[in-house]
Amino acid sequence: MEDKRTPRPRSSRKGKGRGVTMETVGRLAGVSQVTVSRALSDPSKVSPATLEKIRQAIAQTGFVPNALAGALATSRSMLISALVPAITNVVYASMVKSFSDRLREQGYQILLSETGFDPLDEEKVIAAHLSRRPDAILLTGIYHSAKSRQMLLGSGIPVVEVWDHTDTPIDICVGFRHAETGRAAADYAVSRGYEAAATISAGDERALRRKDAFIARYTHLTARTVPEINLAGSATLAHGRECLRRLLEERQFRAGVIFCSSDLLAHGVIIEAAAQGLRVPQDIAVIGFGDQEFAADVEPAITTVRVDRDAFGRAAADAVLARLDRRDTGGHAIDLGFKIVRRGSA
């Protein structure tokens, strides 16, 4: 004979079950749905014996509590959104890892999404994440659509913008000044005696700012024209090789220093220079950006702009935690700076 105390799954008209609910757990534990909800939101309000029955029912059914419903009692979802332009980009990946590691130590989990580089695409992702009621949100960069800023300001949650710097962030920014890195690279190139320069840049807004600052500074210091190759898309080894060929063929650039918007492009330039019979740095010198893991281990090693990605992630996490705990963040605009790392390519 069937045990009528055992709940039977209810089916929809299409024959698909609803899944396990709090009502299912309550029936199995012999308590009301309200008691199950109370046990999940505040276990101290339920007797130890009843709580144990509910825990056994949850274990038996595989029930996953609704985190948003449970968060109503605590005003915390324990979820932090992290939005980056490209998940596969090692620059963003390593920064988000240190951000996530620090927050997990405090019991938070990360909701990670890729936005691309179009502000309107980012706007859609922001709207989707805010509908999940995260406790805070991390964004990459400081330039967002007007609608995005409106949504973020209206959310009332901590917002940390990373990988850039502004004196007027939405809430908090943790970054560095991209234009300053371009100027510093130009100063370095001039100090090393390079009498000609060129640039190769990916198409994202921050890379173009670095490139423009390099050209303006180098031109100001030397009164020389700086040929440039700008990509529509992202940086790859193949693009680095292609861009050097274009500089050689279209611009007749045969000697001098090339400032690249990433170490990946710089590596491609070094590979193509060898294929063209050019010596690095004697004929073509190369400066990259990012100090990625491979930069010190290629031949020649890449002179580059180092930005401490792990430090950025940790600082962003600490700023979020401080805001959530209503502690002083140490300022709304945190500039962690950068460093020129001199190696064999320049």
User: What is 268-305 written as a DSSP string?
Assistant: HHHHHHHHTT--TTTTEEEE-SS--TTTTTSSSPPBEE
The two three-digit tokens of residue 296, written as one number: 């010190």
pLDDT of residue 75: 64
pLDDT of residue 131: 87
Same domain, residue pair 83 and 162 = yes
**What SS3 class is residue 167?**
coil
Cβ-based neighbours of 156, under 8 Å, separated by 6 or more: none
Q: Give a yes or no: residue 170 inside a domain.
A: yes
pLDDT of residue 70: 52
pLDDT of residue 17: 40
Q: How far is CA 300 from the centre of its chain?
A: 29
Task: Give the residue from 18, 44, 75 where a domain finishes.
Answer: 75
pLDDT of residue 168: 93
Other beta carbons within 10 angstroms of residue 6's beta carbon come to: 8
Same domain, residue pair 299 and 314 = no
CATH number at residue 329: 3.40.50.2300
CATH number at residue 33: 1.10.260.40
Candidates 220, 235, 315; CA nearest to 269 is 235
Domain count, the chain: 3
> H or E stretch including 311?
helix 309-324
Within the chain, which residues score under 50 in pLDDT? 1-18, 72-73
Same domain, residue pair 225 and 292 = yes
Q: Give a yes or no: residue 277 inside a domain.
A: yes
Distance CA 132, CA 120 (A): 19
Same domain, residue pair 295 and 224 = yes
Cβ-based neighbours of 340, under 8 Å, separated by 6 or more: 184, 185, 188, 303, 304, 305, 306
Same domain, residue pair 246 and 258 = yes
Q: Give a yes or no: residue 342 inside a domain.
A: no
pLDDT of residue 67: 54
Same domain, residue pair 213 and 274 = yes
Same domain, residue pair 183 and 325 = no
Q: Which domain range does residue 36 map to?
A: 1-75
Other beta carbons within 10 angstroms of residue 139's beta carbon come to: 28
Same domain, residue pair 7 and 155 = no
Same domain, residue pair 182 and 206 = yes
Same domain, residue pair 87 and 66 = no
Distances (CA, A) of 295 to 91, 227, 261: 13, 24, 13
Q: Tens digit of pLDDT for each residue in 262-275? A: 999 999 999 999 99
Same domain, residue pair 255 and 286 = yes
Same domain, residue pair 188 and 294 = yes
pTM: 0.79
